[in-house]
Amino acid sequence: MPDQMTLSDSALALFRLHVDRQGRVDVDDSNRDAYRELELAGLVMNSRPFVGNQLYSLTRAGFEFKLEMLAKRPA
């Protein structure tokens, strides 16, 4: 599983946004590369690759990374 140091700032920010919005983030040209980076890192997967707008979901590794991230977040 990647750590925060191996992800770009934009991918890490997008992951946090994805977690905060429970996956409700529109995929467009402004975040497509960051989503691809998260997908390559194994944190998300494209849940709708052939139908309409793209939709990314957390993988098991992504869910574990989310739990780590939330545990480190100040209360």
Residue 72 is predicted with a pLDDT of 87
CATH numbers and ranges of domains, the chain: 9-72 (1.10.10)
The pLDDT value given to residue 49: 65
Say if residues 43 and 61 touch (Cβ distance below 8 Å): yes
Indicate the pTM of the whole model. 0.85
Q: Which residues pair with 10 in a beta bridge?
A: none
The residue length of the chain stands at 75
What is the per-residue pLDDT for 2? 66
For residue 54, the model assigns a pLDDT of 82
Q: 3-state class of 24 per DSSP?
A: coil
User: What are the average pLDDT values for consecutive 10-residue runs of the chain, which has 75 residues?
Assistant: 78 96 92 95 85 84 94 80
What residue has token string 């944190």? 43
Question: Could you tell me which of 15, 45, 19 has the C-alpha nearest to residue 31?
Answer: 15
